[in-house]
Amino acid sequence: MKKFRKVVMVVMVAMMAMAALAGCGGKDSTPEIVGTWSVSELEASGVSISVEEYAKQLGQGEDAIKMDLTCKEDKSFSMDMAGQKTEGTWKEKDGKFVLTVDGEDQEVSITDGKLVLEEATSGMKMTMKKK
């Protein structure tokens, strides 16, 4: 019986050590916002249009209205909107993300793999997909 207890104790100690080590050294998961996002759809006054269709209506190529957002793990981001570039920082807050440029905040949400940036005063909405 003593031998059985000794075996059980050894197994339990080994399991506890494995459980403790499983939590060590692992990196936190990368936030969903990290990566490069490209605008795929625009919406204004309840009317949605794809970037491709919008470019066609303007008689422009898609590159003329290209809009990309690149968020890095160091909590910085850069945005290129048709050649106009800006940089800022991002943070996670209440399950959403906040982009900050020159002290001004813009909240964005990610749902079903799509990042949505909505401008509150105009009601304009941009939907972005990860590249």
- Tell me if 30 is assigned to some domain: no
Tally of domains in the chain: 1
CA distance 52 to 31: 29
Q: Which of 24, 2, 20 is CA-nearest to residue 10? A: 2
Question: Average pLDDT, stretch 25-30?
Answer: 67
Please give the residue range of the domain that contains residue 70: 35-130
Tokens of 127: 């939907």
20 assigned to some structural domain: no
Residue 12 located in a structural domain: no
**Helices within the chain (DSSP H only):** 2-22, 51-58
The reported pLDDT for the residue numbered 60 is: 85
What is Dmax (Cα atoms) for the chain? 86
Dump pLDDT digits (tens) for 1-10: 554 444 344 4
How many whole angstroms separate alpha carbon 5 and alpha carbon 65?
A: 72
Look at residue 104 and tell me if it is in a domain: yes
pLDDT, tens digit, for every residue of 9-23? Answer: 444 444 444 444 444
pLDDT of the residue at 27: 54
pLDDT at 34: 98
What is the CATH number for 70?
2.40.128.270
pLDDT at 61 over 70: yes
Query: In the prediction, which pLDDT does 19 show?
Result: 42
Q: Is residue 27 part of a domain?
A: no
pLDDT of residue 69: 97
Q: How confident is the model at residue 28 (pLDDT cuts 50, 70, 90)?
A: low
Q: Is residue 72 part of a domain?
A: yes
Asked if residue 115 is part of any domain, the answer here is yes
In a domain, 81, yes or no: yes
Prediction pTM value = 0.74
